[in-house]
Amino acid sequence: MTDARLRSQVEQRLLTDVRTRDCHLTVQVQAAVVILAGRTPSPETREAAAQIARGTPGARDVANRITTRNRPRSPGLLIALATGVLLVPFVVTSRWVGAAILAAAGVVLADLLWRRRRPAK
- Domain match, 40 and 90 both: no
- Domain match, 12 and 37 both: yes
pLDDT tens for each residue of 2-35: 999 999 999 999 999 999 988 889 999 999 999 9
DSSP 3-state of 34: strand
pTM reported for the whole predicted model: 0.57
pLDDT tens for each residue of 70-109: 655 556 656 666 666 666 666 666 556 666 667 777 777 7
Q: Is residue 121 part of a domain?
A: no
Q: Is residue 22 part of a domain?
A: yes
Q: Sheet of 61-68: strands edge to edge?
A: 24-30, 33-40, 61-68
- Give the whole-angstrom CA distance, residue 35 versus residue 29: 6
Please count the structural domains in the chain.
2
Q: Is residue 51 part of a domain?
A: yes
Query: What CATH number corresponds to the domain at position 7?
Result: 3.30.1340.30
- Give the whole-angstrom CA distance, residue 58 versus residue 31: 10
Q: Which domain holds residue 94?
A: 76-116
